[in-house]
Amino acid sequence: MRRQTWQRAAVRDALSEREGFVSAQDLHTALKATGSPIGLATVYRALADLAVDGDADSLQSGDGENLYRACVSQGHHHHLICRSCGRTVEIEADAIEEWAADVAARNGFRDPQHVVDVFGTCERCAAAASACEVV
């Protein structure tokens, strides 16, 4: 049975306060900053649990970190992620689901799962970045 502890609640709350994906380390740092004596290992465990329960989404950043995000829609969906600020838009695409299933089936693969995420630079960051670029 899964127990109700203030640590889990703290992790869940901290996660839902963020707009985009956060790393476990960041979340731990943030929690510590608020005075929580929560342990790093606990944050990892809580996040893993949330991900399993479908309350959070996880993906791996390019540099070997696991990122987590509180999920609004419970079902299967994908993300459009700003590579600069981490802001995230949830997207649904039945067409993709079908395509993936179809491709898998056509090649004799069973139990298709897919990783579909789109990265980009959101308007806000694109504007900020172009101001700095040495064009």
Partner DNA sequence: CTGATTTTGACAATCGTTCTCATCTGGCCG
Partner DNA sequence: CGGCCAGATGAGAACGATTGTCAAAATCAG
Please give the residue ranges that form the binding site for a copy of itself (CB under 8 A): 60, 64, 66, 80, 82-83, 89, 91, 93, 95-96, 99-100, 103-104, 107-123, 126
CB closer to a copy of itself out of 10 and 81: 81
Residue 125 Cα to chain centre, angstroms: 19
Closest CA to 18 of 10, 27, 9: 27
Cβ neighbours around 132 below 10 Å, total: 7
CA distance 20 to 59: 12
Residues 6+ apart with CB under 8 A from 66: 23, 24, 47, 58, 59, 60
Q: Using the rule CB under 7 A, is 40 a contact of DNA?
A: yes
- The interface partner of residue 80, options being a copy of itself, DNA, none and the CB cut-off 5 to 8 Å by kind, is a copy of itself
CB 51 → a copy of itself: shortest distance, Å? 12
Q: Which of 17, 19, 34, 39 binds DNA (CB under 7 A)?
A: 39
Contacts with DNA by CB under 7 A lie at 1-8, 23-25, 37-42, 44-46, 48, 64-66
